[in-house]
């Protein structure tokens, strides 16, 4: 979730692998648009129109 004071928050659903040990899961994801927009005092809803924010993410882990 990206939270903004006095603005609409953006909620992202991340696709995380069940087993992040494979090298292909340690690369950066594609750019992802928000799945929901949450306005103060309202239920989250699907975004309407173009999104002004996108994120990328990467799974990292520690060897034990």
Q: What are the pLDDT digits (tens) for 41-57?
A: 889 999 887 778 899 98
Q: pLDDT tens, 7-34?
A: 789 999 988 878 777 777 778 989 999 9
pLDDT-derived band at 64 (thresholds 50, 70, 90) equals low
Q: Report how far apart the first and last C-alpha atoms of the chain are (Å, whole number).
A: 29
CB proximity list for 26: less than 8 A, separation 6 or greater:
20, 58, 59, 60
Give the residue, 61 or 5, on which the prediction is more confident: 5
pTM assigned to the model: 0.73
Sketch the domain layout of the chain as residue ranges: 1-64
Looking at residue 33, what is its pLDDT? 92
The residue among 35, 38, 39, 33 whose CA lies nearest residue 52 is 33
- Phi, psi angles (nearest 5°) of residue 46: -65, 140
């Amino acid at each position: 979730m990206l939270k903004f004071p006095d603005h609409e928050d953006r909620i992202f659903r991340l696709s995380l692998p069940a087993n992040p040990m494979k090298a292909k899961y340690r690369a950066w994801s594609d750019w992802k648009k928000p799945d929901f927009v949450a306005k103060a005092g309202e239920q989250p809803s699907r975004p309407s129109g173009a999104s002004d924010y996108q994120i990328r993410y990467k799974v990292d882990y520690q060897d034990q």
